[in-house]
Every structure is written in structure tokens, then in C-alpha cells.
Amino acid sequence: MNNEELLKQCIDRAEKWLGPQYDEETRREVKALLDNNDHAGLIDAFYKDLEFGTGGLRGIMGAGTNRMNVYTVGAATQGLANYLKDCFKDEPQISVVVGHDVRNNSRKFAEMVANIFSANGIKVYLFEGCRPTPEVSFAIRHLGCQSGVNITASHNPKEYNGYKAYWSDGAQMIAPHDVETIAYVNAITSVDMIKFEPNPELIQIIGKDVDEPYLDAIHGLSLDPEADRKHADMKIVYTPIHGTGSTLMYDSLAKWGFQNIIHVPEQDVQDGNFPTVVSPNPENAEAMSMAIEKAKATGASLVLASDPDADRIGLVVRDKNGNYQLVNGNQIVMIFLYYLITRNVELGKITGKEYCVKTIVTTETIKRIADANNVICYDCYTGFKWIADVMRNQEGKQRYLGGGEESYGFLAETFCRDKDSVSAISLMCEIAAWAAEKGLDIYELLIDIYEKYGFSRERGVSVVRPGKTGADEIVAMMKNFRENPPKELAGSPVVAVKDYSDLNERNLATGEVTKLNFPTTSNVLQFFTAAGDKISIRPSGTEPKIKFYIEVREDMPSKEAYEATVAKADAHIDQVLADLGVK
């Protein structure tokens, strides 16, 4: 399609949004797009439909078919409602939970979602105000609902919002429900098909009646209340980065007994414009800078953060030289699982039927920790819906200890089925107290783990290739890596290749091919070297980029050699990336 044809198509689609079925504000915004001589905004808003994918919706807010607005969100909700009514037609009363974060328009969208569900005869439990994403998952299970929706765009910039859809187990949907829901949503082809008129009798406002059991359940995860009590005055800086974490995090930490929580007052303000940061993402140093300055001023050695919808955790620790260092997502998951496994060993609770879960791109050091302590370690695809799938499959057979992924998410509990910063941050404070009992801080604990189980270093690199030509380039890159895998990386032979697109693992020395035990295929490729390095490559499912996850092994001769080993590993990673042709 040439530019003139594309523009004509967009104008035709936009003019339909000037009809009386659309509200005045929307019509005004569309008219402004049509009247603008620069057609870039018009094309971006109307060149395609905002797709309801396997995780729901996510996009920039505004008028248009490719935007988050009451009509695209309404179509998604009507499609989901129709699917629920078909799936649960024998249920006397279908019910759902609806929650939202602090983002602009989140409350408006949440109320509209509740209205549409109620208009379709579905009972709605609507949170009174913003709540952490994991509490929506908890509420679905706690209230016995069939589904749920949370309005959030996680840690994306302020222009974005999103729509996460959950199933009856509190997890985001996987097959068959994800693809079936997508089909039902795509069948909503007209605004007239959306039932906007609410039935107020079917909408029940919830709040503290769910908060309290959620916080009680989180406190039940504590494995060392005595350490918590002894170190109750430990200095802990926490920031919600303007997000919904402030709604419950302080209450949770108080319930665990921690009495010296240092606020970052400017970031306690819940604000969808995230005014003090460029991006509200706790994995970025910039987003943590105000909290780090507060730690320097108060002498705190532990800095914690959650993202806007309070499902991801950020962690900063003070090193032996007094410098504050960001702990990466792999290390965060490793610290959690090291503690949960080690503490269960200390308490004599390991029977051989315990398990943990990590994603295939997360550090292999976790598996070494699990194997050494008679704990089963399951691998799954990226995304907490896959961790939840393992939990679903093992329910009643094995005991879950925890699961996480390199993208700063962890889940310590089974009463929720999505990553949870409220429980994770509470637990990280306990880990700091437990370590203090052993004369360590979190930084020293991290080095101890490496000394005991072997050192690894990880880095993620995203190569952005926008537009159709970029998408074609990404396809070509994956094809080339499959057809011409590197023979060696950083001077070490590549000995095995795992290709999740056909679920085959090939031993390059023997030529032997074995099948990978995964529930479905995925466009992910992994190379393993004789030196113990792991390289994972996958295109992003939501953005125009291809992602490289590099994990390298190095010998760490002593604790004192930690910083030198980190520098050596970083150079090792640089060489791997150079050998892959990644800049």
C-alpha cells in the first residue's frame, strides 16, 4: 500500500468516528486530526486496530482505532464478556474483579469496564481506588470469580495505558482462553455492539475487605519473624515512584514489623504524569536516583522501589566502598530463591517435593542453587502467565517455593498468580534482617551466593528496528541465527542449540537431537558454550525490537575478587555481543 492509499484509508476510518455514536470529545479530537496538514498523527491513530493480544491491550491514549480509549477498551470488554457468558453459561452468576493503577484515565476506563460487564449481566467487584496489580489476581481467587481486568500499562511512559485480562485462577490467560478471547474481541466490529448502559445492582465496590486478607496472606510468607523483630529499626528507603505501591506497601512493611521506613515524599504522590522521573521504571538508575539520594542522606544501606502498578521490584544496595549499586533482575530473583531455599533447609522443611520456577532467559545460577538443595527447578517461557501455568500443573503434587524472571518480577506465594512487589519487598526486608543476623548486608550476601554456587554475570540488550523494514530485518536476523549459528563465542565453542520454534535441542558435538518439554512453541533461540555461557535471542512480542540475553560464567577466586570478576565478566559479555554482531 502506497502513502496516498494509506492516508485515504485512514481518512475513511477517521470520518466514521465523527458519527453520533461517538462522544463529543472524541469527535472533536478526530476532527482536529483530520484538519491538521501534518497527517502523521492521523495515520498513527487510524492505520490499524489496537490489537487485543495474549496479554490484553496496551497503547498510547487518545482517539482512534490504534489508541487506548473508551471504544477500544469497550470492544475488548464486550468481547471478553461474550466469551465468559459462553464459557460459564451454567454458572448461576458470573463474576469478575476490576482494578486499576494511577495512570491518567485509569479510573475512567475501570468504571466503564465495570459498567459494560454489569450491562451484560456479570457481577463486578470494582476496587474503590487504585490497587497493585497482584491484588487483582488475589481478589479473583479470594472472591471465587471467573475472570478479572486490571487497567494498567505497567512501567510504560505516561502517554500509555493498558488492559490486562485474567482467568479464574488469577493468572493471565494462556491457550485456549487467550486465543478464544481474541477471536471474541475481534468479532466486535461496531460501537453499537457494545453494551455501555450499566446495571448498578451488579457492581459492588471493594477495598479494605480485600486489602486485609491480602496483607494477612502476605505476612504469612514470613520465614524468620524473630530476625524481623530484632532488626525492626533497620533503615529502609522505599519509593512507589508515584504509583499504587503506596496504597498498601507501608501497611505490609508495618505488619512485618519494620518500623524505620524512609519515604521519598515527592514520589509518594500518586500521579499518572510521573513528574519526578523520565520513566517510572525501577530497573533504570534514573528512576531510583531520588531514593538513592535519600539513602545517602540517612545512611540507609537498602533501597527498594515498585513500578506504577506495583508488580515489579527495584533494589539498590550499598557496596563496601559506600557506593550505591543497582541489583539486576537476575540477581534479585537469585537472592529471593537462595533465601527461600536456604531458610527452608534451616527449618528442616525440604522433603524433595519442593520446586521453584524461572524463565528460560533467567540466570542458571538459580538451578545450581536448587539442585544443590534437593529442590526441583522448572524452566518456562518469559512472562508470569507461564510461571502460573507451572504452578497450576504442580498444584497438589509439589510445594511451590517461589518463581521469577530477569525483568524484575518475583512471586513468593500461591494465593496470587502474577508477580507481586508487595510480597517481594516485604520479603526482601526480611532477607536483609536474616542476613544481618549472620553479620552480612545484602551486597555481602550476594557475593556469598556467588562464592558458594559459582559466579555468573548477565546483561540484556535490545536492538530496535522500527517500521516494516525493521520487522523484516528482525525476521531475517532470526533466520540467519538459525541457519548459521556461531561456531564459537568469546573463544569458547558453541556446544548446544535450543530452538523453541520447533522444540528441538541439538548437541553440536554429537549431532544428537532431543525434544524440549514445553507446552507450545515460541520464537526463541539459545546457544550454549563449553565455557558455560548462555545466549538467548528472541523478538519482542509488543515492540519493534529483538532482544539478546547474555549470561557468562567466570571463576571468582575469592570474595575479595568480586569486583574484579565483575569487570572481567563485563568484558566477556562485550566479546560475546561483538561475535554476534550486536552493537
Question: Has residue 506 got a pLDDT over 70?
Answer: yes
What pLDDT is attached to residue 388? 98
What pLDDT is attached to residue 542? 63
Which three-class secondary structure state does DSSP give residue 217? helix
Question: Has residue 541 got a pLDDT over 80?
Answer: no
Q: What is the pLDDT of residues 115-143, one digit of tens each?
A: 999 999 999 999 999 999 999 999 999 99
Does 52 map to a domain?
Answer: yes
65 CB-near residues (< 8 Å, 6+ apart): 13, 45, 46, 48, 49, 50, 72
What pLDDT is attached to residue 54? 74
Does 477 map to a domain?
Answer: yes
Same domain? 63 vs 191: yes
The total number of structural domains in the chain stands at: 4
Q: Quick check: 411 and 420 in contact, CB under 8 A?
A: yes
Same domain? 415 vs 311: no
Alpha-carbon dihedral angle through residues 226, 227, 233, 239, given to the nearest 10 degrees: -120
What pLDDT is attached to residue 1? 60
Same domain? 92 vs 148: yes
Does 163 map to a domain?
Answer: yes
Does 239 map to a domain?
Answer: yes
Does 89 map to a domain?
Answer: yes
Same domain? 199 vs 298: no
Question: Has residue 220 got a pLDDT over 90?
Answer: yes
Question: Has residue 543 got a pLDDT over 90?
Answer: no
Same domain? 469 vs 545: yes
Residue 524 neighbours by CB distance under 10 Å:
21
DSSP code at position 415: S
- pLDDT above 70 as % of the chain: 99
407 is a catalytic site residue:
no
Does 6 map to a domain?
Answer: no
Same domain? 58 vs 199: yes
| 154, 178, 212 - which closes a domain | 212
Residue 55's pLDDT band (boundaries 50, 70, 90)?
Answer: confident
Biggest CA–CA distance in the chain, Å, is: 73
If residue 498 lies in a helix (H) or strand (E), which one and from where to where?
Answer: strand 492-499
Residue 199 CA to residue 118 CA, distance in Å, equals: 5
Beta strands in 185-259 (DSSP E): 203-206, 236-239
Could you tell me if residue 64 is left (phi over 0), alpha (psi between -120 and 50 degrees) or otherwise beta? left
Average pLDDT of span 555-577: 97
Same domain? 56 vs 188: yes
Range of the domain at 129: 48-212
Residue 255 neighbours by CB distance under 10 Å:
16
Residue 320 CA to residue 278 CA, distance in Å, equals: 30
Q: What is the pLDDT of residues 476-485, one digit of tens each?
A: 999 999 999 9
| 400, 419, 438 - which closes a domain | 419
Q: Quick check: 262 and 237 in contact, CB under 8 A?
A: yes
Q: What is the pLDDT of residues 365-392, one digit of tens each?
A: 999 999 999 999 999 999 999 999 999 9
Q: What is the pLDDT of residues 317-356, one digit of tens each?
A: 999 999 999 999 999 999 999 999 999 999 999 999 999 9
CA separation, residue 311 to residues 20, 224, 398 (Å): 40, 23, 25
Same domain? 271 vs 360: no
Same domain? 554 vs 489: yes
What are phi and psi for residue 292, nearest 5 degrees? -65, -40
Closest CA to 225 of 382, 414, 430: 430
Which three-class secondary structure state does DSSP give residue 378? strand
Average pLDDT score over the chain: 96
Q: What is the pLDDT of residues 443-457, one digit of tens each?
A: 999 999 999 999 999
Angle between helices 70-87 and 177-186 (to 10 degrees): 130
Same domain? 301 vs 179: no
Identified catalytic residue from 147, 154, 306, 423: 154
Q: Check which CATH number belongs to the domain holding 168 and give it.
A: 3.40.120.10
What pLDDT is attached to residue 471? 81
Same domain? 191 vs 312: no
| 279, 300, 324 - which closes a domain | 324
Question: Has residue 468 got a pLDDT over 70?
Answer: no
Angle between helices 442-453 and 329-346 (to 10 degrees): 80
**pTM of the shown model:** 0.96
What pLDDT is attached to residue 2? 74
What pLDDT is attached to residue 4? 87
Same domain? 141 vs 240: no
Strand duo 504-507 + 492-499: pairing: antiparallel
Does 428 map to a domain?
Answer: no
What pLDDT is attached to residue 3? 81
DSSP code at position 365: H
Q: Check which CATH number belongs to the domain holding 529 and give it.
A: 3.30.310
